[in-house]
Amino acid sequence: MVASCVSIGRGDSPRHATSIASAEKDPFIKTRDGMNVLGLVAFSLALGGVIAKMGEKGRPLADFFNAFNDATMRLVGIVMWYSPIGICFLIAKKVLEMDDLETMFSQLGLYMATVLSGLAIHGFVVLPLIYFVLTRKNPFMFMYNMLQAMLTAFGTSSSSVTLPVALQCLEERNNIDPRVSRFIMPIGATVNMHGTALYEAAAAIFIAQSKGVSDRLGVGDYIIISITATLAAIGAAGIPQAGLLTLVMVLTAVGLEPDVSLIITVDWFLDRFRTMINVWGDCIGAGIVQHLSKKELAEDSEKQATSHQNGHANSAYNIVESVRL
């Protein structure tokens, strides 16, 4: 656990080993300085699952981690008050280091176009197609009814702030059962950050290209970027620009310098689009669950209605009996 915080292990087959002795000099497993983020995330998931299964015995440990998380978030909140000043100097330093401003700005433009194109394909092709295949309903009418929630997400850059508006649109305009929407949406606002995951993967590759080290990334590194971006996005808070914090984890996982100063200048703009896609994906999930759970919801409603009628009947019977006595 401690070693994973300060070093990263990776396989590297000895190409020129002609004997066991030479292979030992060039071992298969090599380490480099840096934090093994993927290993820590996997360990944290396993530990969290075990603590949840322990029940009351694991509650003290769970309370400790919750308190530690709250303390960390308060520290982050304090730092964020001073972040505009620091970000200003970071951007100024990065601009002064640029040899060719025109080339750098064109690269940033292509980076923005890549991210926006990926989000557009995911939000307007992939998600509607999944909704149509599973429900056989018009996804664009569903999207039209969620327009207010999506515009709120675009304006606030926060999934958590958009949650009440999204619930209202789902229940009043798309006729989603409150038992479904109020179960799916809070979970989705916390863990369903697919727009953020897509953005972090593209941002990590762009940073590697801008620093001229993309040639060092192999297939395994791209797989690690994809997995780490997905897991890191799950842990991202539903607040504006939270993806920048988890992007540092993605960069560290593949041994890149965690320098996000270059993309800070455009992150505030891209954050609005990825938040909108995050909320749209949550709504799609609620609509699919509603369609697939129609039978169970109807049965549960019948049981509730029957128990309600029986309760009224028992109350009336008790009143009659009390009058007789």
pLDDT digits (tens, 9 = 90+) for 108-117: 889 999 999 9
pLDDT, residue 8, reads 57
pTM of the model: 0.69
- Quote the crossing angle between the two packed helices 243-253 and 37-54, to the nearest 10°: 120
Q: Which of 25, 30, 17 is nearest to 255 (CA)?
A: 30
pLDDT of residue 324 exceeding 70: no
Q: Contact 260/244 with Cβ under 8 angstroms?
A: yes
Residue 261 is encoded by which pair of tokens?
């100063």
Distance CA 128, CA 140 (A): 7
Of 7-11, 223-227, 240-244, 285-289, the one with minimum mean pLDDT is 7-11
pLDDT of residue 313 exceeding 70: no
In sequence order, which residues have a C-beta less than 8 Å from that of residue 224 and are 6 or more positions away?
38, 253, 254
Q: Which of 265, 237, 261 is nearest to 248 (CA)?
A: 261
Q: Higher-confidence residue: 143 or 36?
A: 143
Residue 10, strand partner residues: 30
